[in-house]
Amino acid sequence: MKKLAIISEFNPFHNGHRYLLDKCKEITDADLFISFMSGDFVQRGEASILDKFSRAEVAVLNGFDLVIEMPSYISLQSAEYFAFKSIEILNKLDIDYLAFGIENIKSEDFKKYSYELIDKNEEVERLTAKYLKNKNSFTKSRSHAINEILGTDEFITSNNILALEYFRAISIINPNIEIFPITRRGSYNKDSYFTNSTFASSTAIRNNLSDSIKKYMPNVSYKSLVKFLRENNRRNDNIIYDIFRYKLLIENKPMENTLCFEQGMDKLFKKNILHSKNHDEFLSRSTSSRFTKSRIKRLVVNYILDQNLDLNKIDVKFIKVLAFNKNGAKLFSELKGKLSIVIRKSDADNMDNENLLVYQKMIDSSNLYSLITDRQFNTDYTNKTKTYE
């Protein structure tokens, strides 16, 4: 059974996501299509616009066979770790293919540039370190280094940097996984407004919630989004900010070992909290060329959830299933004895302590999301995973 995976957020699922999947079905001989999807918090450090259960259902109804929840400590990290830890887990599923979207360039050019950058990895690291000394963020420093080596800036977009990290991770973990970079159509990941009549970025859809978004999404996705927003409150970031202030100022909980932390961030935050009335003002005061807004938001959630560097050392031996169809269920027997398949709470009973910790952090993350949206608490235990036709 040939398996293709796509690492995803689907925040929300739109026509571009459907195009990516349809293209994969057209150009590969895969029998099973897997989405390895972020949970209720995504890589920007934000709560997703609709919850993981809704997004997983939409993904299966649009053609995926299986949706697996990404552990929360992976989804709340920089591109390098986000990609590497994701590929580590997907490799245990014996995937044959990984597909992802790219921007600006053709698939062949992306591969050519990626091979060159991997071959010159030491130089990439040296130049990145040089730009970091100038108080640039890691992302900005990495971009400058890549531009200098390739002699062009057409490669640099956030989508392509993440795609490069997938490529790099595969080259280290299992070079036999075949990659399929597929060029986005009609819009870029960073677009905050509509630039095309059919395709729009998730950012543009989130920023322009009105009837006009309907044409940019499969109908089942649009209906799911409308239903979720009608039944649940929009996320309240100030609840996150209040929890963060309490833990930092009153509990005085150390930050040093937290994922995404860098020396000096705790002192900066303590100073800025005292002069900020709300979450947005705190972010505005704290963001700089070195500390990006996304990184700060990731750190804040990691700090609240007590997600620390030791989590990166854990050998994850389970998958948490959010949705699947009968074809997706075929994988479960293949993985028996290799990985634990967690569909209901009792499936986690026999995990070792380390994997149980990873699982519990996923539940904690889900419950934090419930707090800021007024969704039912402990939804992971009460929500029954459906099998779709």
| Residue range 56-115, pLDDT digits in tens | 999 999 999 999 999 999 999 999 999 999 999 999 999 999 999 999 899 999 999 999
Q: Consult the annotation and say whether 11 binds a ligand.
A: yes
Please answer whether residues 192 and 207 qualify as being in contact, where contact means their C-beta atoms are separated by less than 8 angstroms.
yes
Q: Consult the annotation and say whether 15 binds a ligand.
A: yes
Q: Measure the CA–CA gap between 190 and 187, rounded to whole angstroms.
A: 8
Q: Please, is 133 exposed, middle or buried when counting C-beta atoms within 10 Å of its C-beta (0-12, 13-18, 19+)?
A: exposed
**Residue type present at position 142:** R
pLDDT of 48 reads 97
Q: Consult the annotation and say whether 101 binds a ligand.
A: yes
Q: Consult the annotation and say whether 7 binds a ligand.
A: yes
Which stretches does DSSP call E strand in 221-330? Answer: 318-325
Q: Consult the annotation and say whether 159 binds a ligand.
A: yes
Q: Consult the annotation and say whether 117 binds a ligand.
A: no
Q: Consult the annotation and say whether 8 binds a ligand.
A: yes
pLDDT of 125 reads 92
pLDDT of 188 reads 65
Q: Consult the annotation and say whether 12 binds a ligand.
A: yes
| Residue range 278-288, pLDDT digits in tens | 999 999 999 99
Q: Nearest-CA neighbor of 19 among 226, 217, 224?
A: 217
Place of tokens 């060329």: 289
pLDDT < 50 stretches in the chain: none
Give CA angle at 377 (318, 66), nearest 5°: 35
Domains of the chain: 3-104+163-231+316-356 (3.40.50.620), 107-156 (no CATH), 237-310 (no CATH)
pTM as predicted: 0.95
